[in-house]
Amino acid sequence: MDVCLFCKIMEGEIPSAKVYEDENVFAFRDINPQAPTHILVIPKTHIPSMDALTPENIGAASACLLAIPKIAAQEGLMPGGYRVVSNCGPDAGQTVHHLHFHILGGKALGVGMA
Ligand code: 5GP
Ligand code: ZN
């Protein structure tokens, strides 16, 4: 899907600060970080959001979850910890319609969730 910003980033058409890549997953630094460490983890398969998960594409999405602790270790986020967020739809403020997980860390984060 060539109109998708994150597909373009994954394919290298738009530059990004890559932090991790494997067969199924691409991860890069958020352009507008909300914490000292703010990384976006995306499946290489284009899935619009959490709401579009199916038994057929869950493998591509769950590969992101397996990658997250590896990225956190690489970034030195443990043992301090980190937060993982996936915004889905307008009320959650999703602005890019390619499933992504935010990894936030590098400081003590606020206790509020919403
Ligand atoms: P959402 O609001 O959809 O959950 O998150 C989208 C994220 O993508 C935002 O945190 C935003 O800063 C980030 N973002 C938007 N455009 C770009 C870009 O061109 N490059 C990078 N690295 N991040 C982007
Ligand atoms: Zn995409």
Taking the C-alpha atoms of residue 28 and residue 26, their distance in angstroms, rounded to an integer, is 7
Domain boundaries, the chain: 5-105
Q: What is the DSSP string of 34-75?
A: SSSEEEEEEESS----GGG--TTTHHHHHHHHHHHHHHHHHT
Average pLDDT over residues 73-87: 98
Residue 46 annotated to the active site: no
Residue with tokens 């058409």: 13
pLDDT (tens digit, 9 = 90+) per residue, 12-47?
999 999 999 999 999 999 999 999 999 999 999 999
Residue 1 above 50 pLDDT?
no
Which bound ligand lies closest to the C-alpha atom of 7?
2
Q: How far is the CA of 111 from the centre of ligand 2 (A)?
A: 31
pLDDT at residue 2 in the model? 56
- Rg over CA atoms, the chain: 14
Between the alpha carbon of residue 38 and those of residues 21, 29, 57, 58, 83, the distances in Å are 16, 6, 25, 24, 10
Fold of 5-105: HIT family, subunit A (3.30.428)
